[in-house]
Amino acid sequence: MCSRLALGTIAKEDSYVMTRFRQAGLITLGRTTMPELAISTTTEPLLYGPTRNPWSLQHGAGGSSGGAAAAVAAGIVPIAHATDGGGSIRVPASFNGLFGLKPTRGRVSNGPFVDEVWNGLGVHFAVSRSVRDSAALLDGIHGGGAGEPYYTAPPNASYLSEIQQPPGTLKIGFMMNPWNGARTDTAVASALSEVARILESLGHRVQEVVPDLGVSWDAFVQCNAQIWAANAAYRINGIAAATSRAVDENHLEPATLALYQYGNQIGAVDLLSALQTRNTVTRALGRFFGDYDILLTPTLPALPPRIGDYNRVETSVDGFGWIAHVFSQSPFTALSNVTGTPAMSVPLSIDPQTSLPIGSHFMSGFGREDTLFRLAAQLEVVCPWRGQQPPIWAGSIVNETT
């Protein structure tokens, strides 16, 4: 967990998802880095230092699955486990030029130690370099384990077979700027506009939209902040009890400690209110997907930040302020976590000025990974990315001044 508080802890048994990785024939090489306790979308933990982007060592790899994405992007492994509670698969996929799918809530088990990660916001899956690899992996690991708290219907066909099928003519809602009133940077906006043009050339119907969240942006952020903080406080207390370490500045980073303090102030009624907001947002997006097959947005409104830039505010904000900062950096991705719907970041663009990857973000209705895989496979043919390699690649010699 890249935390001094948890240093040295080892799980006593495999999770269900790890068991299924093994059953699928995967061989694990080790653990990768993440921001402390996954409460950020940059991977710059104090314990191990920043994880750098293989496309530019001056820039971050994103988070929270930043180490996983950097390892895949640099050619160390073809695929890596990742989790996503607010964008943590799709953000690093975008920054590192990878394919990153966040599955439907319940598609992959969180058991046996927890029923829901972050009250249903968090899911397990992976980042990869191809649509095929992600489809094959989801075929191998989807489904519940003993004692699952709810049932998510299995797919009608294998995902590997779905990528052989045309997506048909899709009705796509296209949203350029986030709900918080900010503007998407020019480089990202230009790239996404070209993606929308390509989709139209493929026969899809693309319309500009601003989906209704059902609540204000401030209420949306507060909902997530309360769920994140309450779960972080609970988890930190458990780690501290297991390690006999103090919950203080000697064992937690400033942002984590601030979130812990905020979490301890949240009562049961506050948390239930946040879950009701989650329901309101989920119902609103459900109505949107009654009219549209896909929602297209930028994965992120800006290019990857330089190392050190993202965390400059961590000593000047409280717990809620930290989450507000995280959501200002990644305002598009968390919607699918709140609603439980699948989403993916697809590496369709490269910024011509910096040579940094730009991901395009696609969401679909609950349980419709099939639609996403079909569309991703179509786009992979039209805009192939698998042959692209970053300057930092496994086995290559890197000049020390790079």
pLDDT reported for residue 386: 82
Percent of the chain whose pLDDT exceeds 90: 95
Residue 87 lies in a domain: yes
Average pLDDT over every residue of 13-29: 95
Dig out the tokens for 342 from the structure.
């699948």
**Which candidate, 77, 79, 74, places its Cα nearest to that of 96?**
74
Residue 294 lies in a domain: yes
Residue 4 lies in a domain: no
Structural domain of 327: 16-382
Can you give the length of the chain in residues? 402
Amino acid at site 220: F
Q: C-alpha 295: how far from its chain's center?
A: 16
Q: pTM (2 decimals)?
A: 0.97
Burial bucket for residue 264 (CB in 10 Å: 0-12, 13-18, 19+): middle
Residue 50 lies in a domain: yes
Residue 307 maps to which CATH number?
3.90.1300.10
Average pLDDT over every residue of 239-254: 97
Residue 274 lies in a domain: yes
Residue 301 lies in a domain: yes
- Do you find a cis peptide bond into 54, omega within 30 degrees of 0? no
The overall average pLDDT reported for the chain is 96
Could you identify the residue written with the tokens 């990869």?
128
pLDDT reported for residue 368: 98
- What DSSP character marks residue 364? -
pLDDT digits (tens, 9 = 90+) for 161-186: 999 999 999 999 999 999 999 999 99
Q: Mind giving me the DSSP string for 42-60?
A: S---TTT-PPEETTEEEEE
Q: What is the dihedral of CA 382, 387, 391, 397, to 10 degrees?
A: 180
Q: CA–CA separation, 3 vs 19, rounded Å?
A: 25
Average pLDDT over every residue of 94-119: 96
Q: CA–CA separation, 387 vs 73, rounded Å?
A: 11
**Contact of 89 with 102, CB cutoff 8 Å:** yes
pLDDT reported for residue 217: 98
- What DSSP character marks residue 122? B
Residue 146 lies in a domain: yes
Residue 146 or residue 371, greater confidence? 371
Q: CA–CA separation, 354 vs 45, rounded Å?
A: 25
Query: Widest CA span of the chain, in angstroms?
Result: 60
Residue 397 lies in a domain: no
Q: CA–CA separation, 259 vs 288, rounded Å?
A: 33
Count of alpha carbons within 13 Å of 385, Cβ hemisphere only?
A: 29
Residues facing 356 on adjacent strands: none
At residue 400, does pLDDT exceed 80? no
Backbone angles phi, psi at 304, to 5 degrees: -55, 135
| CA-CA-CA-CA torsion sign (140, 146, 149, 153) | positive
Q: State the pLDDT confidence band at 395, using cuts at 50, 70 and 90.
A: confident
- What DSSP character marks residue 149? S
Q: State the pLDDT confidence band at 402, using cuts at 50, 70 and 90.
A: very low
Average pLDDT over every residue of 207-234: 98
Backbone angles phi, psi at 99, to 5 degrees: -90, 125
Dig out the tokens for 183 from the structure.
């503007």
Q: State the pLDDT confidence band at 387, using cuts at 50, 70 and 90.
A: confident
Long-range residue pairs from 43-47, CB within 8 A, at least 24 positions apart, any chain: 43/2, 43/67, 43/70, 43/92, 44/307, 44/308, 44/310, 44/311, 45/2, 45/3, 45/253, 46/4, 46/253, 47/2, 47/3, 47/4, 47/7
- When divided into structural domains, the chain yields a total of 1
pLDDT reported for residue 299: 98
Average pLDDT over every residue of 233-239: 97
**Contact of 332 with 93, CB cutoff 8 Å:** no
pLDDT reported for residue 293: 98
